[in-house]
Chains A and B, each alone.
Chain A
Amino acid sequence: MRNIIAFPLLGLAVILQSSMVSQVRLISGYADLPLLMLAAWALQERVKSSWQWTAVACLMIGFVSSMPWPVIAIGYFGVIFMAQILQRRVWQAPLLAMFSVIFIGTLFIHLLSFVVLFALGTPLPFDDVIGMITLPSLLLNLLFSIPIYALMRDLAHWVYPLEEHE
Chain B
Amino acid sequence: MSLYAPSSPHFHNNNSVTKIMLQVLYALVPGILIYIYLFGFGVAINILLAIVTALGCEAIMLAMRKRPIAPFITDGSAVITGVLLALSIPSIAPWWIIVLGTAFAIIIAKHLYGGLGYNPFNPAMVGYAMLLISYPKQMTQWPQSDASIGFTQSLELIFSDNASSQALADAVSGATPLDYLKNQLGLSRDIPDIMANSEAFGIFGGSGFEWVSIAFLAGGLWLIKKKVIHWHIPAAMITALSAIALVFYAIDSNQYASPIFHIFSGATLLGAFFIATDPVSAATTAKGKIIYGACIGLLTYIIRTWGGFPDAIAFAVLLMNMSAPTIDYYTKPKTYGHK
Instruction: Tell whether A and B belong to one assembly.
Output: no
Residues of B at the A interface (CB closer than 8 Å) are: none
